[in-house]
């Protein structure tokens, strides 16, 4: 990436309470499996592995991952919300796109699930969010 790295006004904390020092950010076009997006790339201080080499479209391939769930919490799946007929084709198109590029995958049953919430973008496409 060419160009000047900008200062970062954001502070990050990890789950254990430690702080991550961000050195800067640079806006760049990022392409993966035929999809190009414009994203901010952050540079962090640390001795850990390079996350950009381990993360591929939201998947982690670097080893075991632990998710902390407080004791006594049981899995839950919320019922889906109804979608208007006018937005349904755009939601199906976005879900197909996300599945095609490996962000999501189909599943018959999950212990943990939340309904999706479609957010209409100005250009007419849909962003899929979770309704927690």
The answer to whether residues 111 and 77 touch, using CB atoms and an 8 Å cutoff, is yes
% of the chain beyond a pLDDT of 70: 82
% of the chain beyond a pLDDT of 90: 12
**DSSP H helical segments within 1-119, as ranges?**
51-54, 88-100
**10 or 107: which leads in pLDDT:** 107
Q: Which residues contact 48 (CB under 8 A, 6 or more apart)?
A: none
From 29-33, 79-83, 85-89, 128-132, the region with the lowest mean pLDDT: 29-33
- How far apart (Å, rounded) are the C-alpha atoms in residues 101 and 74? 31
- How far apart (Å, rounded) are the C-alpha atoms in residues 32 and 39? 12
Three-point CA angle 105, 120, 110, nearest 5°: 25
**101 or 132: which leads in pLDDT:** 101
- How far apart (Å, rounded) are the C-alpha atoms in residues 126 and 128? 6
Amino acid 55: pLDDT = 40
For the entire predicted model, the pTM comes to 0.49
Encode pLDDT of 36-65 as tens digits. 888 777 777 777 666 554 444 455 556 676
Give, as one character, the DSSP assignment of residue 6.
Answer: B
Amino acid 56: pLDDT = 44
Read off φ and ψ for residue 99, nearest 5 degrees.
-70, -40
């Amino acid at each position: 990436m060419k160009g000047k790295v900008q200062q970062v006004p954001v502070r990050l904390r990890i789950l254990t309470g430690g702080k991550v020092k961000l050195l800067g950010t640079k806006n760049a076009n990022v392409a993966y499996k035929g999809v190009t997006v414009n994203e901010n790339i952050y540079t962090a201080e640390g001795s850990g592995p390079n996350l950009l080499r381990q993360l591929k479209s939201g998947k982690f391939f670097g080893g075991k991952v632990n998710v902390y769930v407080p004791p006594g919490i049981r899995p839950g799946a919320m019922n889906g919300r109804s979608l208007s007929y006018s937005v349904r084709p755009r939601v199906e198109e976005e879900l197909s796109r996300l599945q095609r590029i490996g962000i999501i995958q189909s599943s018959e049953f999950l212990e943990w699930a939340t309904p999706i919430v479609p957010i209409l973008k100005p250009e007419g496409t849909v962003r899929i969010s979770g309704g927690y």
